[in-house]
Structure 1
Amino acid sequence: MPRKLDLRGGTPVWSAYRPPSVPVDRLTRDVKTDVLIVGMGISGAMMAETLTRDGHSVICIDRRGPLKGSTAATTALVLFEIDQPLTKLSKMIGNSAAREAWRRSRLALVNLRGRIGELGIHCQCVATPSLYLAGEQLGASDLRHEAKARRQAGIAASFMTHNELRSEFAIDRAAAILSHDNLALDPRKLTSGLLLQTLKRKARFYAPAEATTIEDTRLGVTVSTRHGPAIAAKHLVLTTGYELVDVVPAIDHRVISTWAIATDPQPNKIWPQAAMIWEASDPYLYLRATSDGRVVCGGEDEDFTDDERRDALTPEKTERLEKKLARIFPRLDTAARFTWSGSFGATGTGLPIIGSVPGHPRVHAVMGYGGNGITFSQIASEIVSASIAGAQDADADLFAFKI
């Protein structure tokens, strides 16, 4: 089973906005279900809502409890724009596959926005433009080429020159790509809203409940928990973030530590359209505004897993983020009211890995999210639910395990 780490440290900005509470029970006896989901963050919540809507009985367990993992640490820039630019991804996996990955990511946001509206979840979900700024990885000419590649794939993208960027957004960078209809939202309120919908359909939630062993056959899966009771299911879905269980094979997957800050509300100083902003650098800076005018800014990523080391770096990283934010928007009050750190999984391509674990057809894993965790969680709920229903999602092979 996974090594236990604190997935986040500090106080995320979302603590200022209380989500609806999600009731859980204690697991005191052996139980059965159609689908067992391990993990009750955003990925598990999306999966549970989809599967109960399809008529499956569902049990969710989490060794911490709902919303207590890395979901609370996200800055929730819900972008269809994958971390790996389309032009670079095309060189990695081929032009056709790269285009399809970007198109599916774009479609996922359309589906997610419709899902939130249909379910009536109040999570401050707002369609928001984004600016992808020139940086050390992609300069102005590279961004022009990237914008063209996106348009050829059927994805709207506008190239902005230095003068246009300064005139429309007061940002002094060489160039940018302007995109529309990304989503800004409160991730904890979205997660709790999905889980509460799932409870209405008679799902069962148990926490704290830690999975310890997994035994699967061609007929089903049995998961034992730390304190004794076992859960028998027809299918198991692992939505544990980067905390990989033993049944999942080693893949191109690494753990990233990241840091974020949030300011006091300053709605009168927010830039035009409250556009989400991220840059073509490694590591890249990313920022957004909340519904009440706070500025959320994150970045300074590093490749390591030690949570104590990660949290010890928070004061230094906070100062750097404040300075970087001030360079983009000198008029802002960049003093951090909230500071936090988090850990997340990433893959070399920037794409998630979704699907049945090789050799274990009834065990489904969702992993490797990078900066598009919420977007990819939507895709995962669509792919895995189709597989459990005995169907095949059109893009299942694109995101499947490759070993």
Structure 2
Amino acid sequence: MTHNDHTGKKLPQVPEPYWRDFIDLPEFPRLEKDIQVDVVIVGGGMTGITSAYLLVNEGLKVAILEAGKLLNGTTGHTTAKVTAQHDVIYDEFIQNFGRSKARLYYEANTDALSFIKKTVDEHQINCDFSEQDAYIYATTDQYASKLKKEADAYEKLGINGGLVNSIPFDIDIQNALVMKNQAQFHPIKYLTHLIKIITEKGGLIFENTTGVNIETGEQPTVLTREGPRAAGNYVLSCSHFPFYEGLGFYSTRLYADRSYIVAAKTKKPFPGGMYISADQPTRSLRSTTINGEEMVLIAGEGHKTGQGKDTMEHYKALETFGEQVFGLDNIMYRWSAQDLVTLDKIPYVGEITSGQPNILIATGYRKWGMTNSTAAALLFRDMILGKKNAYQSLYTPSRFYADPSLKNFLVENADVVGHLIKGKLEMPDKSAEELSIGEGAVINVKGHRKGAYKDEEGKLHIVDTTCTHVGCEVEWNSGDRSWDCPCHGSRFSYTGEVIEGPAEKPLQQYDYNILDNLTSEDSGY
């Protein structure tokens, strides 16, 4: 099955990110026996690998536990902008937290950029690192006014940048705000080199090893789904959504947001720089080299996971935008990304729960994970070594600002309750027999709400649509062929396996022939 948009370009059938292609990634075994180390790191993405790299350099014994394959989560699906320009945010931070905390956020991310650059230089890592100016542009009067306020915030905070009247390609803008001397790179090439250093210095890495809980105490121990245990003086939760929440109730303090990316060869050359629109829906642009050819990454179309229109429409909208601005010769890749947003838009990094100083968490990067994850890893190192870090209070998960945290807490949890109730009341009228090849949908089987997908061979895959986290009803994501939860962002494959948490258990699977024998009196959802 091939998807086409109205520009006539063919969308790649399977959503796969570019970053992992052409890279010889190392493979690591499953954890088969109990281990004892200084630091157990759960999650093998940018945060976990950078943390392990920093800690082995300090002589500590470290183990990374990755539920699937290294670098296949959020890190492998990024646009890989290494920048402190995180949308229009600094004026808002000044208003909500004051000038000093807004400046700290900028400094933390600028320090992270500098650390990445220094590491690339020190180890001569061939990861396509290049310095680029970053731009936010406005196409409407409303957002042009916001950019003027943001430019004032840049001036107050001493950020190197300011307003400009044009950008070097064919978009009619009102104004744009530049942040000078930012960067972009190939994250997998960068992290693959760090992995090599970690293992050379005695670090342990285990794939297909899922952490499910922590046995707390003086020496916390990670319990894995597979059975073996990993004990350490510290446990770092670097698993995107916290695999262990303690008493932090992170399900009520985070929401999941998806965005979409296409990589295309363009008719017009890319002028350099990195760009993102202030207006919604978001449009983000940067270039990269794929197999020797320059490509443009066109990203945006963000929305809450499991909510909104047919997800294929988001890819098509990006294609149309790319065609209008650059002209498209060929679309090489398409993929989507998911990240978590905190109540106040600053990540949670630090003690997962007050009183448990040896269990640390990093989450809620709001799609700006390259610098925020590095800042988190640097903070983890200092906390473990007992060193002062200027950013510890900024990122601490225990913070709670009445404005905006309380308002956003109420809004987000009302949204969860609304979707929980709505999903239970809705009953689809579609049947499995109506599905086409490659189509998925929520179906009605004798009054029971089930999820169905018909694969390329015509086989039906039937699952229960009740998310195994808190019981919301999942929705079909046609663009990525997955079942997505609108409440807390859990995602499942069309066969029901967990792709992303917080859910830990798969959706219940059914044999359609047996399911068809249900009666309307049998228990439903």
Give the TM-score of the pair, scaled to structure 2.
0.68
Contact conserved, 1:103 with 1:153, CA < 8 A, in 2?
Answer: no
The alpha carbon displacement at 1:125 in A equals 0.9
What does residue 84 of structure 2 align with?
A: 80
What does residue 47 of structure 2 align with?
A: 43
Which of the numbers 354, 362, 368 marks the counterpart of 2:364? 368
Secondary structure of the corresponding residue to residue 214 of structure 1 = strand
Which of the numbers 63, 66, 76 marks the counterpart of 2:67? 63
Secondary structure of the corresponding residue to residue 163 of structure 2 = strand
Higher RCO structure, 1 or 2 (CA under 8 Å, sep 6+): 1
Whole-angstrom CA distance in 1 between matches of 2:329 and 2:356: 49
Deviation track 1:132-183 (CA, whole Å, cap 9, x = no partner) reads 101569533432332232133121112112xxx15x5444201001222222
Whole-angstrom CA distance in 1 between matches of 2:141 and 2:302: 15
Secondary structure of the corresponding residue to residue 147 of structure 1 = helix
What does residue 345 of structure 1 align with?
A: 340
What does residue 300 of structure 2 align with?
A: 299
Whole-angstrom CA distance in 1 between matches of 2:303 and 2:149: 28
Whole-angstrom CA distance in 2 between matches of 1:102 and 1:271: 28
What does residue 290 of structure 1 align with?
A: 288
The 5-angstrom pairing of residues 68-217 of structure 1 reads 68-135=72-139, 139-161=143-165, 165=166, 168-217=168-217
Contact conserved, 1:137 with 1:282, CA < 8 A, in 2?
Answer: no
Whole-angstrom CA distance in 2 between matches of 1:361 and 1:49: 21
Q: Structure 1 residues 32, 91: CA separation in 2 closer, same or farther (over 3 Å shift)?
A: same
Which amino acid letter does the alignment assign opposite residue 103 of structure 1? Answer: E
Q: 1:245 and 2:250 equivalent?
A: no
Larger Rg: 2
The alpha carbon displacement at 1:262 in A equals 0.7
Whole-angstrom CA distance in 2 between matches of 1:139 and 1:213: 45
Contact conserved, 2:140 with 2:174, CA < 8 A, in 1?
Answer: no
Whole-angstrom CA distance in 2 between matches of 1:104 and 1:92: 18
What does residue 491 of structure 2 align with?
A: none
Deviation track 1:313-355 (CA, whole Å, cap 9, x = no partner) reads 442111111122344x2x4317532111222111243321111
Q: 1:317 and 2:314 equivalent?
A: yes
The alpha carbon displacement at 1:244 in A equals 4.1
The 5-angstrom pairing of residues 361-400 of structure 1 reads 361-400=357-396
CA RMSD of aligned residues (A): 2.2
Whole-angstrom CA distance in 2 between matches of 1:137 and 1:113: 37
Which amino acid letter does the alignment assign opposite residue 80 of structure 1? Answer: A
Deviates more, 1:191-200 or 1:41-50: 191-200
Contact conserved, 2:222 with 2:229, CA < 8 A, in 1?
Answer: yes
Q: Percent identity?
A: 24
Q: 1:14 and 2:12 equivalent?
A: no
What does residue 226 of structure 1 align with?
A: 225
Contact conserved, 1:131 with 1:275, CA < 8 A, in 2?
Answer: yes
Q: Structure 1 residues 118, 34: CA separation in 2 closer, same or farther (over 3 Å shift)?
A: same
Which amino acid letter does the alignment assign opposite residue 100 of structure 2? Answer: S
Whole-angstrom CA distance in 2 between matches of 1:32 and 1:137: 59
Contact conserved, 2:44 with 2:70, CA < 8 A, in 1?
Answer: yes
Deviation track 1:51-73 (CA, whole Å, cap 9, x = no partner) reads 11111110001110211222111
Which amino acid letter does the alignment assign opposite residue 360 of structure 2? Answer: H
Secondary structure of the corresponding residue to residue 340 of structure 1 = strand
Contact conserved, 1:83 with 1:371, CA < 8 A, in 2?
Answer: no
Whole-angstrom CA distance in 2 between matches of 1:70 and 1:365: 16
User: Comparing both structures, which one devotes a greater share of its residues to helix?
Assistant: 1
Which amino acid letter does the alignment assign opposite residue 279 of structure 1? Answer: S
Q: Structure 1 residues 222, 320: CA separation in 2 closer, same or farther (over 3 Å shift)?
A: same
What does residue 28 of structure 2 align with?
A: 24
Contact conserved, 2:88 with 2:147, CA < 8 A, in 1?
Answer: no
What does residue 463 of structure 2 align with?
A: none
Q: Structure 1 residues 245, 313: CA separation in 2 closer, same or farther (over 3 Å shift)?
A: farther
Whole-angstrom CA distance in 2 between matches of 1:348 and 1:284: 20
Which amino acid letter does the alignment assign opposite residue 391 of structure 1? Answer: K
Contact conserved, 1:127 with 1:181, CA < 8 A, in 2?
Answer: yes
The alpha carbon displacement at 1:34 in A equals 0.2
Aligned length: 380
Q: Structure 1 residues 248, 12: CA separation in 2 closer, same or farther (over 3 Å shift)?
A: farther
